[in-house]
Amino acid sequence: GDSVTQMEGPVTLSEEAFLTINCTYTATGYPSLFWYVQYPGEGLQLLLKATKADDKGSNKGFEATYRKETTSFHLEKGSVQVSDSAVYFCALKDTGGFKTIFGAGTRLFVKA
């Protein structure tokens, strides 16, 4: 079945460091791909998405590119801030369906 694998955390960075969180997926067809973010004590919220190969999703300085050849959707940010400390979830939604499958989540700590 479809699945999402993302790098284990926690990831600890200093402010203004470069961030990469790896995400790879297994799916039949052409899923849509997402990154969700969960701030402490809150529900998940959509960070960015891409619906087809080579699409780049971006929001709040974060970017991810849908790479079909490597089945990846890595999250990047050029300069992280303390306020980016959160748990990040990679997810896919199967073609034509309603089911969303989540990775295990990666916790990010950013130190001032």
CA distances from 86 to 45, 54, 80, 100, 109 (A): 11, 27, 11, 20, 7
- Of 36, 103, 43, residue with least CA distance to 72: 103
Q: Does 98 bind another protein (CB under 8 A)?
A: yes
What would the two tokens of residue 19 be?
A: 């961030």
Report how far residue 106's alpha carbon sits from residue 74's, in angstroms, rounded to the nearest whole number.
12
Which C-beta is closer to another protein: that of 82 or that of 104? 104
Q: Does position 34 bind another protein by CB under 8 A? A: yes
Is residue 73 a contact point for another protein (CB under 8 A)? no
Residue 105 interacts with another protein (CB under 8 A): yes or no: yes
| Residue whose CB is less far from another protein, 99 or 111 | 99
Q: Which is nearer to another protein, 9 or 17 (CB)?
A: 9
Among 74, 75, 103, 110, binds another protein (CB under 8 A): 103
Query: If you compute the radius of gyration of the chain from its CA atoms, what whole number of angstroms results?
Result: 13
**Biggest alpha carbon–alpha carbon distance for the chain:** 43
Applying CB under 8 A, the residues found at the interface with another protein are 32, 34, 36, 41-46, 49, 51, 89, 93, 98-100, 102-105
